[in-house]
Amino acid sequence: MANNFLDPSLNPLCAKLGARVLKVRLARGITDIADAAKQLGIPTGAYPLLEAGRLMPAPWLLERLKRWLWEGVSFEGHKHPASYHAEALGKNWIPLRIMLAPKQRKLLRAEGERIGLTSEELVAIAVDRLLSAPVVLSTLKAAQDAIRKAQMVEALKLYPDLRVILEGDIDLACKIAGPEVRPSPAPKLGLEQLVEQIDEVNREELDDENATKEKTYSEWDETT
């Protein structure tokens, strides 16, 4: 579950996935990202994060991506189970999801209480010190490069749908359904749906009547 919220900049799979989504969208002639977002059934604001490699999709979105890429299926009108809208903590503040083991979280809370700071304030101070120390950042970058391969292997184990997307024939996916892929029509309700049902019944009755006439004429021709 932790990988769902892993900082995308630390996950090498995000960039690869974003590049594939971008290539398919352009190959299918979808120039408006809002149309692509509708086809996937996600907020318009979330789609650019996906293409930019800044989003690791949850399992439900990976399933949609797999079907959209390889089958041309549109999920317009489908609800998404997760919200991508962050709530502001205050002026110029935004929440950050911090991945900590239970013991570390408990220690952070205890240390914060000991010096009269909340966990959020303590983390903010730590981040500020980190960003002001280039030597620390360069060390972290070296460590990040060393573990990227392991991260990719572990992520692929957790996301079989993502493995299907990355291992598939990307050129074939671009050609499936072609430029004619368009968002599926929204479901029709009420009177509009009833009228279409009546029209469909009328068409079927007319087809049956025409078939009966043709059969009658054919029998008449055979007897003469």
- pLDDT attached to residue 2: 38
Q: Whole-model pTM?
A: 0.45
CB 157, CB 47: distance < 8 Å: no
- pLDDT attached to residue 69: 92
Helices 102-114 and 119-131 cross at an angle (nearest 10°) of 100
- pLDDT attached to residue 133: 72
Report the C-alpha dihedral over residues 74, 80, 82, 85, rounded to 10 degrees: 80
- pLDDT attached to residue 83: 42
Cβ atoms within 10 Å, residue 134: 8
The residues spanned by each domain of the chain are: 2-180, 188-224
The residue with tokens 């809370």 is 109
Question: In the structure encoding, which two tokens stand for residue 7, read together?
Answer: 């900082």
- pLDDT attached to residue 86: 38
- pLDDT attached to residue 65: 93
CA distances (Å), origin 214, targets 157, 200, 201, 204, 219: 61, 21, 20, 15, 9
Question: In the structure encoding, which two tokens stand for residue 212, read together?
Answer: 């009966």
Euclidean distance between CA atoms 146 and 150, whole angstroms: 8
- pLDDT attached to residue 85: 39
> Is residue 53 left, alpha or beta, with left meaning phi > 0 and alpha meaning psi from -120 to 50?
left
pLDDT lower than 70: segments of the chain? 1-10, 79-96, 134, 136-137, 177-195, 211-224
Report the C-alpha dihedral over residues 61, 67, 72, 78, rounded to 10 degrees: -40
